[in-house]
């Protein structure tokens, strides 16, 4: 059975900043959006120095970073933003799980994004994406270039919806919603495999079907481990409104994070349902195997029952006594064969009437 390809990164200390992921060959690139309801400015492949000049904290700013391999650039950027070293370490250390925290007026949110691998149906791709909210600035860190936020960029460019009317915390909501949609895509992709396995488990003879079931079960366990902490973090945002603990999120936007929390609950419920379906597939397989074994045992029992009286007759007349009745009878052999045939037919008729085979 092939394992889920989930490569965990190296562990690193807070004092030793280094990228611990597997996408070490990805170049680090930065993209900046500066926008409000009236205008938007987009700058591709921006440097840290250019970012310092181009950002406008009187407007909304979104800095998106692809690739974390250039640690020096990340460190320089963090110094410019006056980020806590703990936050920078968690951005680069992908072995950490989902985390939500606010340090020095900076909201930090780290999440695992999961997608099916288009090149290999048996694996899924896992990427850590981190977000920083500070003043009117949101910074997103992706391990590699992807199309998670393509439609969000289009909405900013075309001024579609309310994204340019809202602050950057609403942009965080949109990006989290996009990542959660990837979970739906992954689950839907794997549910097609479940449906096939459920049908195959009813007719399959090979134990290979159990390997496929266990492989899928491992995928759903992985999905569940990624969603549960996300659900808890979203619940924290959803229920913190009265305390105003997170200064970076406007009270009017808490309702959007409540929607994400509900989506996370729906995902977990769907995963539980799918895992129960896998249990049903397992039960189908073992039930089918037991049924086939029972049929084999039934056939062998019928054969043994038919030959039992025949063996008795043959054994009886095979004894070497001189004065056995019918021993010297002219038609004794043929009568014995006839009696044995009649016994076989009567027994088969009786078994058939009882529906024993």
Q: How do residues 216-241 score in pLDDT, each as one tens digit?
A: 888 899 899 999 999 998 988 877 65
Determine the 3-state secondary structure of 43 from DSSP: strand
Q: What is the pLDDT of residue 315?
A: 84
Can you state the percent helix, strand and coil of the chain, rounding each to 5?
Answer: 55, 15, 30
Put residue 45 in one of left, alpha, beta given phi > 0 → left and psi -120 to 50 → alpha. Answer: left
pLDDT tens digit sequence for 114-143: 877 766 666 788 889 999 998 889 999 998
Q: What is the pLDDT of residue 349?
A: 87
Pairwise CA distance, residues 107 & 100, whole Å? 8
| Average pLDDT taken over every residue of the chain | 84
Pairwise CA distance, residues 18 & 189, whole Å? 34
Q: Which segments of the chain have a pLDDT < 50?
A: 1-14
pTM for the complete prediction?
0.78
With CA atoms as reference, report the closest residue to 340 among 311, 299, 302.
Answer: 311
Q: Which residues have CB under 8 Å from 153's CB, separation 6+?
A: 33, 42
Pairwise CA distance, residues 66 & 95, whole Å? 18
Burial of 267 (0-12, 13-18, 19+ CB in 10 A): buried
Determine the 3-state secondary structure of 245 from DSSP: coil
Contact of 87 with 161, CB cutoff 8 Å: no
- H-type alpha helices, 201-253: 208-239
């Amino acid at each position: 059975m092939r394992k889920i390809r989930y490569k965990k990164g190296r562990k690193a200390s807070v004092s030793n900043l280094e990228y611990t992921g597997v996408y070490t060959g990805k170049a680090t690139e930065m993209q900046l959006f500066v926008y409000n309801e009236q205008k938007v400015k987009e700058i591709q492949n921006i440097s840290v120095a250019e970012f310092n000049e181009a950002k406008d904290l009187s407007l909304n700013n979104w800095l998106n970073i692809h690739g974390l391999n250039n640690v020096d650039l990340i460190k320089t950027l963090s110094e410019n933003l006056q980020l806590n070293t703990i936050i920078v370490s968690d951005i680069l250390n992908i072995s950490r799980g989902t985390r939500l925290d606010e340090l020095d007026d900076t909201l930090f949110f780290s999440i695992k994004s999961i997608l099916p691998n288009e090149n290999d149906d048996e694996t899924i791709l896992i990427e850590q994406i981190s977000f920083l909210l500070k003043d009117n600035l949101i910074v997103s860190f992706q391990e590699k270039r992807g199309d998670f936020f393509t439609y969000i960029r289009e909405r900013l460019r075309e001024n579609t919806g309310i994204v340019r009317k809202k602050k950057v915390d609403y942009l965080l909501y949109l990006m989290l919603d996009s990542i959660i949609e990837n979970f739906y895509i992954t689950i839907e992709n794997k549910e097609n495999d479940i449906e096939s396995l459920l049908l195959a488990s009813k007719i399959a003879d090979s134990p290979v079907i159990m390997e496929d079931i266990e492989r899928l079960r491992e995928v759903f366990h992985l999905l569940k481990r990624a969603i549960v902490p996300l659900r808890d973090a979203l619940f924290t945002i959803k229920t913190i409104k009265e305390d105003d603990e997170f200064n970076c999120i406007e009270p009017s936007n808490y309702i959007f994070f409540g929607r994400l929390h509900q989506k996370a609950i729906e995902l977990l419920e769907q995963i539980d349902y799918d895992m129960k379906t896998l249990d049903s597939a397992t039960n189908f397989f073992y039930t089918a195997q037991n049924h086939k074994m029972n049929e084999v045992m039934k056939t062998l029992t019928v054969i043994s029952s038919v030959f039992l009286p025949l063996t008795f007759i043959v054994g009886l007349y095979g004894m070497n006594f001189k004065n056995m009745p019918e021993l010297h009878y002219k038609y004794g052999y043929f009568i014995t064969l006839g009696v044995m045939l009649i016994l076989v037919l009567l027994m088969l008729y009786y078994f058939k009437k009882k529906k024993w085979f």
